[in-house]
Each structure stands twice: as structure tokens, then as C-alpha cells.
Amino acid sequence: MKNSKFGMDHNVASLSRREALFGMGAGLGSVAFSSLLQGADSKIAHHPAKAKNCIFLFMEGGPSHIDTFDPKPELTKRHLQKFTRGGDMESAMSSGDRYFVKSPFDFIKAGKSGADMSAEWVNLQKMADDMCFYRGAQVESVNHPTACFHVNTGNRFGGDPAIGSWVTYGLGTENENLPGFVVLPRNSYPQGGAGNWSNGYLPADFQGTPLRPTGSPILNLNPPRGVTAETQRANLDLLSKLNKKHLSNRPGRSELEARMSSYELAFRMQTEVPGVIDIDGEKESTLESYGIGNAKTDSFGRKCLLARRLVEKGVRFVQAYAGNWDSHDYIERAHGSLIQSVDKPIAALLNDLKERGLLDETLVVWCGEFGRTPDNGLRGGGQSYGRDHNAKAMTVWFAGGGTKAGHTIGATDEIGGEAVDCVHHIRDVHVTILNLLGLDDNKLSFYHAGRHKQLSQFGGSVIPELIA
């Protein structure tokens, strides 16, 4: 039977392999089975890929495009003038009088490309010529949980596979000793929780593996005192024998396969993971460049450095969370502090990848779940103003991975209320990410609940303007 490379449904090929193995009574352990499945897939792409890996930087809470990468001089002219919305442009939390709100930040033209960036991006502006800014993206929801699900899974209501799960399902893993999809969350999980990196209806092997933001990234990584590797191996072999007998009567139960696979992966991770998560061996200059050791930047700096180390070791998809960008009040103070906390780490990540020759093959994506409105209530007057949620306009930027460096694509209207040029639904952003990684959304499907499902839900289009 043909595989997805030749246009057949990916899941049909996977199921036939699974059924064949069970039918032959093959004596493969689940990890061998999983490695066979993922190893075969890792050699299959629908077309030549521009990127091998992806680092997805998710700014939870909805960063304001108007105050980061999309300046609006018209708002300065209209600042605090009364503003009335109507129809489908009604504000998410509209009540009482509304007023235009200018950005409290100055903007600069960064790099030779002249990219628009808030002057608060002191370090990132140095990488402007390696970045591709996209101002045409739109989503459907202005509620945080549904919007987070939408950007992360393509479905506003949760329960579907995350984009990282789709990528690892399509491409497999480059390092069988590490998870293919790793998540670096905040202390508090994003709205919607672990559903943002769920495998959904895909086999459970493809769910994201979160690393703890404080303390040991993985609990119980080291074996108990006195337990040798040989003893662990013997225990796992016995457990595998019992589990295979149990599974032989229950073919196709992905949760059983995933549990067995996780035991084996955990055993292998005891050797591989300590060397990846231990950053003590990094040069002092590298740690400083990421802001590690500085109270403001240490947390996200560690995530960005770990993201680089993970993709360097073959992890296919890494997602790092920062927040909370939900600035309804005091946006100068709130967004200003948040930009400071991620500016240096992100700039260091891009520069580090570039210096190591990894940026060309690593796609870096930055976005939140939506943008923010050009208006808000006074909330006490003075500098206390902020912005509401806006699904009609947001900025997504890319770096590396075959994207068009040094370009700004698309535009919003003069007040930043709505995208008006090169406008695309978030599904098209998803399809473009998959395309850069060598995957065709229309071929990367999984049969579930009576139909073939895909990340874009019902199909989408590549955004050619973003691709070099």
C-alpha cells in the first residue's frame, strides 16, 4: 500500500502496518513498534522541506500588535477621542464610552530592512533583518481559552491534536531518546491547560511532553538509589512481556501502546536528558546573552536556551510559553515589563541558531492567541489605559526555516483595528508552517469519527508571500 508521500492518507498506511504486525504475531516491543512507525515516517515528506524543526514562541494573553510591531500614527492624532464600534467590530468587553488609545511606546525602523519595532525591543531589533513580520493574520475568537485552542490546535473547542502533534505524526522523530514534541510552559498552564499540546485523536505517542518550569524539569528522572540500569532493563523486559500479551488481544489501542512506549522512552531519557537540560556546561557568555541569572529574563532565557539545545539534539517541535500579555490596564507598564522579559532571550535564541548554522533549518514562530483593539475605556484616565481583545488583527513573525527574512508582509488599517492586506485565517498560517516543514495539510490526515481530519479542519492555503 502506498504511503502519504504519494498522496494516500497517512493513517491508512499506519493502520495497515499495525495490523500486519499484530497479524504476524510479531514479537516487537512497543518501543520498537513506535520506532519503526516513526522512523519510517521520518523519511517521508510530501515535498522538499525548508525546515527540519520548529520553535514556537507563544505569548499567552494576546500581545498588542499596535504596541510591538505595527505602529499606528493615526492613533496618536486621535488619542482619547471618543470612539464607537458597531456590528462585528464590537469590542470584546465593550461597555460605556470608548476612546482611541495611542501607543505609549516610540517606534524605530530596525535593520537594513527598516522593520517597524517598538523601541522597547532593545536586543531583538538587532535581528530584524532575519525576521519576517506578518500583519495579515486573523482568528475567530476573542475568549482566551477558545483562542488559545484555535491557534494551537486549529479547533476553538479543544480536543484536537496540537500543531506539534501533527508535525511529529507526519515527520516522526530525529532522536528516539527524546520526545518529538516538547513544551516549556509557565508556572501556571495557559488557559485551556494541557489541551493546548494534546495529541487529541492522534495516537497518544504524539502528545506534547511538558517540562516543569521550576525545579527538576522532569520528576523521577534518575532511578532510586541502589537500582542499576541492568535491574531496570530486566524489570522493563518483564513488564513488556506482560504488556505485549495484554495488548495482543487489543490491537489498535493507542493509549496502551503509548503507555508501553513511554516506559521505554523514560528509560532511554535517563541517559539522554541530563545532558540536554543541564546548561551548566554552556559558556558564561552564552548564559549572559540569554539573560540567565537576571531576575527579569532568567525564566524565559532558560526556555529559549533549552529550546535551542533540544532542536540541536533532534527534537522536532518545541513550544515555549510566556505571558501574561492580557493588558486591559496600564499597558505601558505591563507590556513594557513583558517585552523586557523576553526581548533578550529571543534575540539570543535567533543569534545563537544563526551562529551555529541552525537558523536556516529551524523555523521560529512568534505569536499570541489574538491582537488587541485600538480603543479602550479610560479606566481612570491618565496612563491607566489598556486594550481589549481583537480577533481581526494581530502580528505573527517568523525567522529562519525558509521564510522571507527582512520583509514585512500584509497590513492592518490606519488604526490597527482590522487586517486589510494579505489577509489570511489562522488555518492558512498553520498550513504554511506545515508546508515549510515538508508537509501537505491535505495529505496529512487521520481518519476519526467517520471522516479524514486535518490540522486546518477543512483545508487551507499556503501563504506564498511568507516563503523565500
Over the stretch 138-152, which tens digit does the pLDDT of each residue have?
999 999 999 999 999
| Residue 222 or residue 208, greater confidence | 208
Residue 24 is which amino acid?
M
β pairing state of 446-448 and 451-453? antiparallel
pLDDT band for position 439 (cuts 50, 70, 90): very high
Q: Cα torsion at 347, 352, 358, 363 (round to 10°)?
A: -20
Of the chain, the percentage scoring pLDDT greater than 90 comes to: 64
pLDDT band for position 10 (cuts 50, 70, 90): very low
pLDDT at 15 over 60: no
The pLDDT of residue 382 is: 59
The pLDDT of residue 349 is: 98
pLDDT at 128 over 90: yes
Backbone angles phi, psi at 3, to 5 degrees: -105, -175
pLDDT at 11 over 50: no
Backbone angles phi, psi at 446, to 5 degrees: -140, 130
The pLDDT of residue 322 is: 97
| Residue 438 or residue 26, greater confidence | 438
pTM of this prediction exceeds 0.95 = no
CATH number of 4-466: 3.40.720
Name the nearest CA neighbour of 428 among 375, 389, 380, 466: 466
| Residue 21 or residue 80, greater confidence | 80
* β-bridge partners, 58: 321, 367
What is the per-residue pLDDT across 213-252, written as a single tens digit (0 to 9) for each? 666 666 556 666 766 767 666 766 777 677 777 777 777 6
Where do the structural domains in the chain lie, given as residue ranges?
A: 4-466
What is the per-residue pLDDT across 279-323, written as a single tens digit (0 to 9) for each? 888 999 999 999 999 999 999 999 999 999 999 999 999 999 998
The answer to whether the CB of 402 falls within 8 A of the CB of 130 is no
The pLDDT of residue 88 is: 47
Name the range with the highest mean pLDDT among 30-34, 41-45, 215-219: 215-219
Interatomic CA distance for residues 1 and 16, integer angstroms = 8
| Number of Cβ within a 10 Å radius of residue 411 | 16
Name the nearest CA neighbour of 412 among 128, 116, 142, 119: 116
